[in-house]
Amino acid sequence: MPCANCFELPDELALSFLEALGLAGGVDVLLSAKGRHVSFLAGLGPKDELVVRASTSREELERFLFADNRPTVGFLGYEYGLRRLGLASAKDSDFPLGHLKKYETYLLYEAGCVRLVGQARLDGRVAALLERAAEAAAKTAESPAARGSARKESARAEGLGRLVSASLDRQAYEAAVRQAQERIRDGDTYQLNLSIRFTAEAKGLDAYGLFLDLARRHPASYYGYFESGPFRVVSTSPERFMRVRDGQVLSQPIKGTKHLDARFGDREAAGAEQALRTSAKEDAELSMIVDLVRNDISAHCEFGSVRVENHKSVFRVDNLLQMHSDVTGRLKPGSTVLDLLLDAFPPGSVTGCPKKRSCEIIDSLEPHSRNVYCGTLLAIYGRRDMDSSVAIRTGFLDTGAGFFHFYAGSGIVMDSSPSCEYAETLAKAEKFLQLLGGGE
Amino acid sequence: MHILLVDNEDSFTRNLEHLLAVTTGRAPEVLPYALFQTDLTAECDMLVISPGPGHPREYPAYAPLFTSREQGQPDKPVLGVCLGMQIINECLGGRTERLHGCVHGKAEEIGFLGRRERVARYHSLHVTKLGDGLEALAATDKGVAMALRHRHRPFLGYQFHPESFLTENGEAFIRHALRELL
């Protein structure tokens, strides 16, 4: 061990380590994979919890988050954001509006080192658990045949069954796109995100195994696994909502998508990237959301501090090229990350603009609740430190009903082709759809 | 200087608030449209009507600001942005209709006071008939009104968005409005 409460673990063993750790149960994880480099924050043994309900006030949230120095991990759902905007959806759902937890033990993994956070030293029980997990991870590495293990097979082959429903079929989705465009012509919205909820049979699905399986096969920056009552959230998002480090705010909205053929080489990918950057439609979509995010972080940023950087950057994830920008600002001295988060919620890249009326229209066009989808998974470290994702490419297992629900959507603008937006939505759902045997 | 910025539930109002604060050196007071009444303008030097969704006829609370005053009663200076400009025009008897094709999130050069200025456009509707006393101060190359002012009264509107990051000289448009209106 090179340092107290810390031991080395190669990047390639990080997921196997998490897998072994998960056998003990009660683990929530936020995981990031960029190239070969993996980092995660795992919470073991929830100690204090706040299930967010309609009656939960901002003050209650603040008391929970900042009562002590322990980090908080959890999620806020899209419908919590609707309530913040003064809109309450009439759709029934027993999924919580949000859920936040503090833990007995926190493990932070970065730069090849597992470290205990917020504890003076390892206690014997946790030390033994970590030792077993590290040994199991090493064994997996020695035996490539065992990689993926029975757990992964159960997630793919047995756990997930057929797709039983999609909240909007092709015809209904395309009709909703045309209705959205009519509302754009009326000036009610400039851009509107429209999603589909897919539901698959999932009796006996090991959601944690599914989470790790997806993380192995489709690494992305904002993976999350979170247990909330009978629900198991599996998030595989490529999009950061907001990060705050010592009061320095960064939001990285994504807009503009191009589907890549998996067989594309670097040259074809470079051509597709150029096409994405120079598309007037995609440019306008991103610009709108950048202005919206500037607006949303401005509520709690110092005057004159809000900037746009790296406009129209492109990255590749899940055979998709995605365009994004960095919006930065300086948190006002009297404001906290909770103030910033709540006044910018739900994330603008998954609502539309202007946000409130766009959300009203979304609620009328989508037959489903979004629940955790289009909300945020987050870790809050203190009044001026936080990281959070936009919960897209996200689903959840309902262990009671035995269904896995996942969602995907697309931003609709005036130039949108309904059939192309439907195809884009399916492309974004692909990583879940292919687990069901190839999609629709 | 005390500026009252009325928010029509738009998602760019805070951008406008920051631009006004940076340009004037003082934060404007921001008020939601739902709480707006014209007598609240008594204490402010200028009223700014924000962008927002929908048609100007959905915002009747502004109408009394534009009815003719009795002699000796000065008008309250008003700057309208996007929907705000359309509200000024509609309250003075103008008309607003759908813009064929709509333009959202696009920067475009327009002629403004003899200069070419790159500005951000976000609008589905446009002014098709000018209200009483209004004249066009700027238009796109295709003739879509981009700025209106009243010939004798302190009313000015920008159809484009000076607060957008796509507008190159946002502060200059606010300074122009202050010179024109105050």
Q: What is the mean pLDDT of residues A372-379?
A: 98
Structure tokens at A408: 């995907």
pLDDT over 70 percentage in chain A: 93
Q: Are strands A403-412 and A394-398 parallel, antiparallel or unpaired?
A: antiparallel
Measuring CA to CA, how many Å separate A222 from each of A28, A271, A390?
A: 13, 27, 8
User: Does the pLDDT value for residue B178 go beyond 60?
Assistant: yes
Please write the tens of the pLDDT for every residue from A84-98: 999 988 898 899 999
User: Does the pLDDT value for residue A312 go beyond 90?
Assistant: yes
User: Does the pLDDT value for residue A262 go beyond 80?
Assistant: no
A39 pairs with which residues across the strands? A32
Q: Which amino acid type is present at position B14?
A: R
Contacts of A364 (CB under 8 A, 6+ apart): none
ipTM confidence score: 0.97
Q: What is the mean pLDDT of residues A325-333?
A: 98
Task: Compute the count of residue pairs across chains A and B with CB atoms less than 8 Å apart.
Answer: 104
Q: What is the mean pLDDT of residues A266-276?
A: 87
Task: State the DSSP string of A211-267.
Answer: HHHHHHHS--SEEEEEEETTEEEEEEE--EEEEEETTEEEE--EEEEEE--TT--HH
CB contact under 8 Å between B27 and A355, yes or no, is no
Catalytic residue among A227, A239, A282, A424: A239
Output the pLDDT for position B170. Answer: 97
Which residues of chain A make contact with B18, given a CB cutoff of 8 A?
298, 303-304, 306
Q: What is the mean pLDDT of residues A203-226?
A: 93
Which residues of chain A make contact with B165, given a CB cutoff of 8 A?
287, 290-291, 294, 308
Q: How far away is chain B from the Cα of A77, in angstroms, using its nearest Cα?
A: 20
Q: What is the mean pLDDT of residues A403-418?
A: 95
Residue to mutate among B10, B11, B12, with most A CBs inside 10 A, is: B11
Q: Does B72 touch chain A (CB under 8 A)?
A: no
Which one, of A272, A393, A246, A432, lies nearest residue A330 by Cα? A246
Catalytic residue among B82, B90, B91, B150: B82
Max CA distance (Å), chain A: 65
Please write the tens of the pLDDT for every residue from A89-137: 889 889 999 999 999 999 999 999 998 886 656 677 777 778 888 888 8
Output the pLDDT for position A143. Answer: 62
Please write the tens of the pLDDT for every residue from B26-72: 999 999 999 999 999 999 999 999 999 999 999 999 999 998 666 67
pLDDT tier at A362, thresholds 50, 70, 90? very high
Q: Does B23 touch chain A (CB under 8 A)?
A: no
CB contact under 8 Å between B120 and A283, yes or no, is no
Output the pLDDT for position A124. Answer: 75
pTM: 0.94
Output the pLDDT for position A178. Answer: 98
Output the pLDDT for position A144. Answer: 52
Which one, of B133, B53, B50, B40, lies nearest residue B93 by Cα? B133
Output the pLDDT for position A120. Answer: 57
- The gap from C-alpha A161 to its chain's centroid, in whole angstroms, comes to 23
Catalytic site includes residue A312: no
Q: What is the mean pLDDT of residues A367-384?
A: 98
Output the pLDDT for position A136. Answer: 82
> Looking at the partner chain, which of B27, B53, B102 has a beta carbon nearest the beta carbon of A303?
B27
Sequence length of chain B is: 182
> Looking at the partner chain, which of A191, A284, A298 has a beta carbon nearest the beta carbon of B15?
A298
Integer-rounded Cα radius of gyration of chain A? 21
Q: Which of A1-5, A160-164, B86-90 has the highest mean pLDDT?
A: B86-90
Across chain A, what does the average pLDDT equal?
91
Please write the tens of the pLDDT for every residue from A10-51: 998 999 999 999 887 889 999 999 877 999 999 999 999 999
Please write the tens of the pLDDT for every residue from A153-184: 444 545 788 999 999 999 999 999 999 999 99
| Cβ-contact A151, A209 below 8 angstroms | yes
CB contact under 8 Å between A355 and B11, yes or no, is yes
Sequence length of chain A is: 440
Q: How far away is chain A from the Cα of B98, in angstroms, using its nearest Cα?
A: 7
Structure tokens at A232: 């198991």
Contacts of A186 (CB under 8 A, 6+ apart): B54, B55, B98, B124
| Cβ-contact B1, B29 below 8 angstroms | no
Catalytic residue among A101, A255, A428, A431: A255
| Cβ-contact A379, A388 below 8 angstroms | yes
Residue to mutate among A183, A188, A255, A288, with most B CBs inside 10 A, is: A288
Task: State the DSSP string of A73-138.
Answer: EEEE-HHHHHHHTT--------S-SEEEEEEEEEEEEETTEEEEES-SS--HHHHHHHHHHHHHHH
Q: What is the mean pLDDT of residues A350-371?
A: 97
User: Does the pLDDT value for residue A145 go beyond 70?
Assistant: no
Distance CA A312, CA A341 (A): 24
Residue to mutate among A192, A295, A339, A413, with most B CBs inside 10 A, is: A295
